[in-house]
A and B are shown apart, each in its own frame.
Chain A
Amino acid sequence: MTLRIVHLYPTELGLFGDVGNVTALTKRAQWSGVEVEVTPVGLEDSVPADADIYVIGSGSTAGLRAVGAQIGRLQRALSTAHAKGATVFAVGAGMHLMTRLVEMADGQRIDGVGLIDAVSSPRLSRMVGGVFTTAAGSDVAGFVNSGHEVKGDVMPLITGLSGIDIDNDGVRADGFLGTHLHGSFLSMNPRFADDIILRHTGTTVNLDDPRVARATYAAGKSRESLRREFGS
């Protein structure tokens, strides 16, 4: 089988190296013997509704507005794909656009895709800094730089965070993972990438492959460094 990945709006929503999430998914699947097809989708393109994984990244206010201006097209494709079992992985502004409504700091209200039953609102103060988990058995790290938060009755993707003044981050739902963490997130925390690959291909990422092993080891050391740098 071929794992079909759609990378949504890499130009508008790719401010924080978000393409790294696509890189991690692609390489780890390929190195485990899975064929991968990546389709970048720009503002002028139609959005395929039959892919396995949709990755949407973070961006500036202008990027969020540009994608928000044509949310209908995205909404139709993603609701169809999600209903058919696709996974949506969303970071920062991309995650906020997956809520029902994005409230902007200047009062503008942008309709979201509505995959998450929540609203995105501006934060009183922006959160910027390295974050990491400390609980036994949990090893997640990344860098947050966001002025918005997701408000609603949602299950966080990551709990027990230290580093800056947030305890939890992101959204986990059926076929949906969202976070504010950069790194990029899936390259720095590859077990999330491996779970997504397993779900769609039935293939367990081959941690013994030397290329996978190198990237996995380096990611672990990156999280360790980040914990040292941003820990008190």
Chain B
Amino acid sequence: MLVALAVIVGRAVRVVTRLRGGGSALPGWFALRIAPRFVDKVMDRIHAAGDIPVAVVTGSNGKSTTTSMAVAILEAHGKRVFSNPSGANLPQGVASAMLADVTLSGVIPADVVVIELDEAYGGRLVDTLRPTHALLLNVQVDQLNRFFEPERVIEMVKGIALPAREIIVNDSDDNTRALGNELSAGRVVSGFDVADRAAPRGVYDASAGNDSAVDGRPPVSRVEEVRGSHATLSHLGETVDIQLPSAGVHYAIDAAGAFALASRVLGPEFSVQVAADAISAMRPVYGRGERLDAFGAPLTVIMMKNQPSLQANLDALVDSPESLYVAVDGGTPDPSWIYNIDFSSLDHVDVLTGTKAWQWETRLAYEEILVGLVEEEPETAFEAFGSMTTPKRDPHRTAIVNYEQMMDLRRHLGYMEIEGQ
């Protein structure tokens, strides 16, 4: 009864928030106020069916992209998949996602469930979700103002993996590899990996004293080579070329993780070619190399949350961007890590903006990288970027932005659908 009421009210809130173009977590928040065990009830129905795999995806970076890739692969194999949209990885977000598909009696028509989980909240949610599969992407240095140190994140990720009977780990990351070794008793552990030549600069895993070797599991999937947004993957002896949604080794590793997860879920049904085609047809996830239209020309938006994601995206640049806008605000409270960044792929920045603009300017001053304008107010800065730059070559204009600035920029440019809806 409560579930039906939660669905009706949550759906109504969803209609209103969508009309207003925001508030993705709000419907779920209402549903959980009415029926605190809403998610539990829906999951009860899923588990009662007996054979519906429930996979969770977590790690510091790549959760949204990898989840989308896994969903695309599973759907291409004819499966009905329930998933939470990019970024809706907190309890309210998961509840919101359920509201879209659930019947009044709490049934979600799905053959497979794939849920992206925030590292910090995931431990609480897995008691409810009761995952059968856990995909552990990486533990990188991320949001230290929130997580304090990587060791805590390793424990959080471990807590998410514990209930699963199958764990799929990134064996190129020291920390998830160690978790795979540690959790192998009583669980099936599979790995995915990247060849050294495909990631010559490493994978930017957090240094937490984990340097164990892989504990006897050959990789299910491996990134063999990456050229821009083209990658070659191997999967249990087969080799396949894929087109990534955006350029960079990090996206290829996400794809290998999605391959490994989907193949463990599908078993012999899994087709390497179907999986490759599904990923190749994908568009970039919000702000992750997405092309928007601004000032009558394409604008490539590169979202970065932390040191490893900025470095991975800078590594993927073929040439220094011709027209470059960088916006970083209080969503990145302490950007001290920019001193760890190798900026050699940039020859200049046209406009720096956000409350952290001057910290970036200080950093770039020490690299003697020219900056055209430092303007803390993003709207003023963005307009100036349009008038200051006349890009002549593809990929036209580029924006490197933190998460909050990515959301603001999309809204500013009239892209009303927002992450998490």
Using a CB–CB cutoff of 8 Å, the interface residues on chain A facing chain B are 11-12, 14-20, 23-24, 27, 60-63, 65-66, 126, 128-130, 143, 145, 147, 182-184, 187-188, 211, 214-215, 218-219, 221-222, 224-225, 228-229
On chain B, the residues within 8 Å of A225 by CB distance are 355-359, 376
Q: Pick the most buried of B144, B145, B359: most chain A CB atoms within 10 A of its CB.
A: B359
**Complex formed: what's the CA distance from A224 to B357 in Å?**
12
Q: Pick the most buried of B149, B207, B339, B363: most chain A CB atoms within 10 A of its CB.
A: B339
B-side interface mostly: helix
Provide a sorted-by-A list of 22 A–B residue pairs whose CB atoms are within 8 angstroms. A16-B144, A16-B336, A18-B336, A19-B340, A23-B339, A60-B149, A60-B151, A62-B151, A63-B209, A126-B148, A129-B145, A147-B148, A184-B336, A187-B362, A215-B362, A215-B366, A218-B365, A222-B361, A222-B362, A225-B355, A225-B357, A225-B376
Which chain B residue has the least Cβ–Cβ distance from A211? B368
A15-B141, A15-B144 known; A211 vs B336 contact (CB < 8 Å): no
**Complex formed: what's the CA distance from A62 to B336 in Å?**
20
On chain A, the residues within 8 Å of B151 by CB distance are 60-62
- Contact, CB under 8 Å: B207 / A145: no
The answer to whether B208 has its CB under 8 Å from any CB of chain A is yes
- Contact, CB under 8 Å: A222 / B359: yes
- Measured CB to CB, the closest approach of chain A to B343, in angstroms, equals 11
- Contact, CB under 8 Å: A62 / B366: no
Residues of chain B in range 136-176 having any CB-CB distance to chain A below 8 Å: 141, 144-145, 148-151
Q: Name B339's contact: one of A184, A218, A224 (CB within 8 Å).
A: A184
Which chain A residue has the least Cβ–Cβ distance from B334? A143
On chain B, the residues within 8 Å of A23 by CB distance are 339, 366
The answer to whether B21 has its CB under 8 Å from any CB of chain A is no
On chain A, the residues within 8 Å of B337 by CB distance are 16-17
On chain B, the residues within 8 Å of A215 by CB distance are 362, 365-366
- Measured CB to CB, the closest approach of chain A to B375, in angstroms, equals 11
Which chain B residue has the least Cβ–Cβ distance from A12? B207
On chain B, the residues within 8 Å of A188 by CB distance are 359, 362
- Measured CB to CB, the closest approach of chain A to B191, in angstroms, equals 23
Number of CB contacts from chain A to chain B under 8 A = 104
On chain A, the residues within 8 Å of B335 by CB distance are 17
**Complex formed: what's the CA distance from A12 to B144 in Å?**
15
Using a CB–CB cutoff of 8 Å, the interface residues on chain B facing chain A are 141, 144-145, 148-151, 207-209, 307, 330, 333-340, 355-359, 361-363, 365-366, 368, 374, 376
When A and B form their complex, which 7 residue pairs have the shortest distance between CB atoms, in order from nearest? A20-B339, A17-B339, A60-B149, A17-B336, A143-B334, A221-B358, A215-B365
Which chain B residue has the least Cβ–Cβ distance from A220? B358
- Extra 13 A-B pairs, beta carbons < 8 Å, given A20-B366, A65-B209, A145-B334: A17-B339, A24-B366, A62-B149, A62-B209, A128-B145, A130-B333, A187-B362, A215-B366, A218-B365, A219-B362, A225-B355, A228-B355, A229-B330
A218-B358, A225-B358 known; A145 vs B144 contact (CB < 8 Å): yes
**Complex formed: what's the CA distance from A65 to B207 in Å?**
13
Which chain A residue has the least Cβ–Cβ distance from B357? A225
- Contact, CB under 8 Å: A62 / B208: yes
- Contact, CB under 8 Å: A63 / B362: no
Which chain B residue has the least Cβ–Cβ distance from A63? B207
- Measured CB to CB, the closest approach of chain A to B340, in angstroms, equals 5
Which chain A residue has the least Cβ–Cβ distance from B209? A62
Which chain B residue has the least Cβ–Cβ distance from A212? B365
On chain A, the residues within 8 Å of B207 by CB distance are 11-12, 62-63
**Complex formed: what's the CA distance from A126 to B335 in Å?**
19
On chain A, the residues within 8 Å of B336 by CB distance are 16-18, 20, 143, 182-184
On chain B, the residues within 8 Å of A19 by CB distance are 339-340
Q: Pick the most buried of B355, B356, B358, B374: most chain A CB atoms within 10 A of its CB.
A: B358
- Contact, CB under 8 Å: B339 / A211: no
- Measured CB to CB, the closest approach of chain A to B328, in angstroms, equals 11
**Complex formed: what's the CA distance from A15 to B368 in Å?**
24
Which chain A residue has the least Cβ–Cβ distance from B376? A225
Which chain A residue has the least Cβ–Cβ distance from B330? A229
**Complex formed: what's the CA distance from A61 to B151 in Å?**
8
**Complex formed: what's the CA distance from A225 to B337 in Å?**
18
Which chain A residue has the least Cβ–Cβ distance from B206? A60
On chain A, the residues within 8 Å of B149 by CB distance are 15, 60-62
